[in-house]
Structure 1
């Protein structure tokens, strides 16, 4: 019987938010600090994505 290779990387969704660029934890925390420094409702999605990015790293 032949071995069949299956690429499973497409099957599982990533737990990292897709709209956050590759940042180190320190860079992400600095971006979050700047985003919440001056409250702006237009940046809520960015703040949520950064918090989600940090929460994944903590788990």
Structure 2
């Protein structure tokens, strides 16, 4: 028998935040466009999440 080492892989966080709803790319773009059209600074968190979601897709 040969000696082998077992490497334990720890779970790592996903690139995509888990609090984001599952959206298609098209749905994400539509929501982003609506949020930008409203020009409301209260939507900045949503805009950032949507941009992040699309950036992950592009990579």
Q: Given the two structures, how large is their TM-score scaled by the length of structure 1?
A: 0.79
Q: State the superposition RMSD in angstroms.
A: 1.7
Kindly indicate whether structure 1 or structure 2 has the higher relative contact order, using CA contacts under 8 Å at least 6 residues apart: 1
Q: Give the TM-score taking structure 2 as reference length.
A: 0.79
SS at match of 2:20: coil
Residue equivalent to 1:19: 19
Q: Which runs of 4+ in 1 moved over 3 A?
A: none
Uncovered stretches (5+) of structure 1, i.e. residues with no partner: 1-5
Looking at CA atoms only, which structure, 1 or 2, has the larger radius of gyration? 2
User: C-alpha offsets along residues 13-56 of structure 1, whole Å, 9 cap, x if unaligned?
Assistant: 00002222000000000000000001111110000000000000
